[in-house]
Amino acid sequence: MRGSKGSAVAAPLWAIAAMAAVVGTVTAFGVGPDPRAPGSEATPEAARQEQILRGRQLVLEHGCGGCHGGWDNPGAEGFLAGVTSPAQEFLIGPCAWEPGAEPCFRTRPRNLTPHPTTGMGRFSERQIFNSLRYGLRPGETADVEITSSTPGEGNFPMFPKYLAPPMPWAAWRHMPDEDLWAIAAYLKDGLKPVDNLVEDSEGPPDFWVSNYTEEAYGTYPLPPFPTANEQEPPASANREQVLRGRHLVVQHGCGDCHGGLTNPAAPAFLAGVTAPVQVFPVGPCLVDPEAPCFMMRPRNLTPHSTTGIGRWTDRQLFNALRHGLRPAGYPDRVITADNHPDNPDLLAPGMVWVEKRHMSDDDLWAIIAYLRHGLKPVENEVEESDRPAEGWGGTYVDLGVGTYPAVPFPTANEVGG
């Protein structure tokens, strides 16, 4: 569940993303002199183009389209255009499990295209940056540089108005500055404007202030390594890689589902389902209450030898994140176009591998190094998630999750090049 602690999310959570082979595409742009030519400086335009492409990559690997529209497919209709069907809305609160229960808030992913009156055209890049770093709603927060997270100090509003769950800003805020600016650049200048006015989200009178506690979501910046859940890696491991993996795990919100949200100091961080609230449904029941549901049980990612990832090799974990191959079902081997299994037994759409597969090899190996060497093992047996008898393969086709690697930039929804 990508919701807040004690709330649940009942809407398609098959958050997906993708990214292009950016390094390969940047040089294809005919903007200014070739930045690689000896003695030539990258022109501002070329640098801006590169920033936009970096932003696209980040948008895809963080699965913004899983909620804001179009999954990980920049060519899909409605890509990042916000809610266009009620199925994209979320129910936050006990009503997510129990129809009619209170409180109940309907929240709606917004139009991220640069449309001047219904999208990001209303905001500066700095307002977008502030929404991703501090969770401040751009429509209700002044366009100023913020230098503190304490209400009333350093331009941080005295009465902050936070973005509603399940917008994962508490994870996104841990991205480096240049990544957040790159996302803002892509939303403003890499996308064509789409006119789509999204109805405002509902929320409590305190605009979620009491929801986003440090206890639940942890601190920004992260607490020092290691917390009580973590351990110094053995001398045989690469400590720098482990620490980078830790940062990536938090930035990518793995704990939003696998436990502990974005707080490496939280009890049972990444230990998998330890409370019923972490089990969430995906499937047709989200739009039709009579239709079947599949219950998702995020698994134990700590290196415990019989209940966690201690059972799998690094390669099996890599294949899970890049190819969606269930580690229990596939041996340790390098997957190529020739030996990629037909009708593979894939991880469920509730596991956002379709977005994570677009991360670079280096990033995936860093995450695996952290899970293996940076976490203490926790014994916690998690029951298997439900899955359809025919497996999940067909579902991914129906969802239109896009390709890996992603379609080249620009698609019909994008501008640039």
Question: Shortest distance, CB of residue 132 to ligand HEC, whole angstroms?
Answer: 6
Nearer to ligand HEC, 35 or 329 (CB): 329
**Rounded to whole angstroms, what are the CA distances from 260 to 1, 149, 188?**
11, 21, 33
Closest CA relative to residue 66, chosen from 105, 20, 112: 112
Query: Contact at 8 Å (CB) between 64 and 76?
Result: no
Question: Shortest distance, CB of residue 384 to ligand HEC, whole angstroms?
Answer: 6
94: cis peptide before it, omega within 30°? no
Nearer to ligand HEC, 46 or 106 (CB): 106
Does residue 263 touch ligand HEC according to CB under 6 A? no
Residues in contact with ligand HEC, shown as a per-residue x/- string from 198 to 237 under the rule CB under 6 A: ---x------------------------------------
Task: Give 206's contacts (C-beta < 8 A, 6+ positions apart).
Answer: none
Give the Cα separation of 232 and 336 in Å (integer): 34
Closest CA relative to residue 401, chosen from 358, 359, 367, 354: 354
Nearer to ligand HEC, 43 or 323 (CB): 323
Query: Contact at 8 Å (CB) between 112 and 82?
Result: yes
| Interacting span for ligand HEC (CB under 6 A) from 46-54, 58-66, 209-217, 403-411 | 58-66
Which residues, in sequence order, are bridge partners of residue 90?
107
Does residue 402 touch ligand HEC according to CB under 6 A? no
82-111 residues in contact with ligand HEC (CB under 6 A) are 90, 107-110
Query: How would you class 322 by CB atoms within 10 Å of its CB: exposed for 0-12, middle for 13-18, buried for 19 or more?
Result: middle
Does residue 62 touch ligand HEC according to CB under 6 A? yes
State which of residues 53, 254, 266, 406 lies at the interface with ligand HEC (CB under 6 A): 254
Question: Shortest distance, CB of residue 375 to ligand HEC, whole angstroms?
Answer: 11
Within a 13 Å sphere around the CA of 81, how many CA atoms are in the beta-carbon half?
Answer: 18
7-46 residues in contact with ligand HEC (CB under 6 A) are 13, 15
Query: Contact at 8 Å (CB) between 208 and 162?
Result: yes
Nearer to ligand HEC, 46 or 180 (CB): 180
- The residues that touch ligand HEC, with contacts defined as CB under 6 A, are 2, 13, 15, 59, 62-64, 66-68, 90, 107-110, 112, 128, 131, 137-139, 163-164, 166-168, 172, 183, 201, 249, 252-254, 256-258, 296, 298-299, 301, 317, 320, 326-328, 347-348, 350-352, 356, 367, 384-385
